[in-house]
Chain A
Amino acid sequence: GAVVSQHPSWVICKSGTSVKIECRSLDFQATTMFWYRQFPKQSLMLMATSNEGSKATYEQGVEKDKFLINHASLTLSTLTVTSAHPEDSSFYICSAPGASGSLRAQYFGPGTRLLVL
């Protein structure tokens, strides 16, 4: 199956700093990737759709200046949490759609745990 990696797997940072999370599709190309946020004991919440070569599309209520997304190549999308604050602490997961012909599925990375002190 399609493999998606994320780096780092966890990060601790001081309040006010910026943190960059990478999402890579390892064995397939992805013109679109998705970034999710997950709070404890809750389902995944879509933050934004990352589009290769164009601007990301953000879900309602997600600050685009806070969560910068760059999709510079067909295998890499990055999420930068700018001026992080403790309330940004969460589990961030990316995904990429893989398709076999017309059949669709979405493959998730292992997630990045962010703790802002």
Chain B
Amino acid sequence: GQQLNQSPQSMFIQEGEDVSMNCTSSSIFNTWLWYKQDPGEGPVLLIALYKAGELTSNGRLTAQFGITRKDSFLNISASIPSDVGIYFCAAYQGGSEKLVFGKGTKLTVNP
């Protein structure tokens, strides 16, 4: 099925560093969502984006809805050990209630 191209697949960083990950697609989406999943848990919604060009922050997290509506990025500033986990982008297309997912970015933060 249709998927979002999420990169990088994994990241190994030092505590305090900034992190950036993104999702792209050849299709247009009208809502972008970013989730974090800890091991053995369900995904938790971090940020929701609803307008092209929108830039939204949630604490140290900042995400943007690309102006072309085909991409989105998530930045994490000043990473801390509890940021470890898998980050997924997801998006809605048109009026569908089904989410399309990226394959995830696994983040490891070294203290």
Q: CB within 8 Å of B: which residues of A?
A: 1, 4, 6, 32, 34, 42-44, 46, 49, 59, 91, 93, 95, 97, 103-111, 113
Closest CB of chain A to B84's CB: distance in Å?
Answer: 15
Task: Establish whether residues B42 and A93, one from each chain, have CB atoms under 8 Å apart when the complex forms.
Answer: yes
B60 CB–A CB distance under 8 Å = no
Interface size class of B (residues with CB under 8 A): 20 to 34
Q: How far is the CA of A6 from the CA of B102 in the complex (A)?
A: 24
Check A44/B101 contact, CB under 8 A, given A103-B48, A104-B31, A106-B33: yes
Instruction: Decide: A104 and B98 in contact? CB cutoff 8 A.
Output: no
Which one of A43, A59, A95 lies within 8 Å of B104 (CB-CB)?
Answer: A43
The reply to whether B97 and A111 contact each other, CB–CB distance below 8 Å, is no
5 A–B contacts, CB within 8 A, in A order: A43-B3, A49-B98, A106-B33, A106-B90, A108-B42
Q: How far is the CA of A107 from the CA of B44 in the complex (A)?
A: 7
Whole-angstrom distance between the Cβ of B23 and the nearest chain A Cβ: 12
Q: Is the CB of A107 within 8 A of B45?
A: yes
Q: Are B50 and A103 in contact (CB under 8 A)?
A: yes
What's the least CB distance linking B42 to chain A, in Å? 4
Which residues of chain B are near A43, meaning CB under 8 Å?
3, 88, 101-104
Pair A111/B42 contact, Cβ less than 8 Å: yes
Query: What B residues does A110 contact at CB under 8 A?
Result: 41-42
Residue in B41, B45, B102, B103 whose beta carbon sits within 8 Å of that of A105 in the complex: B45
Contacting residues of chain B (27-73) with chain A, CB-CB under 8 angstroms: 31, 33, 35, 40-45, 48, 50
Q: Which chain B residue shows the least CB distance to A1?
A: B45
In the complex, the answer to whether B98 meets A34 with C-beta atoms within 8 Å is yes
A4 to B102 Cα, complex, angstroms: 22
**8 closest pairs, A vs B, by CB?**
A108-B42, A111-B42, A108-B43, A110-B42, A43-B101, A105-B48, A43-B103, A93-B42
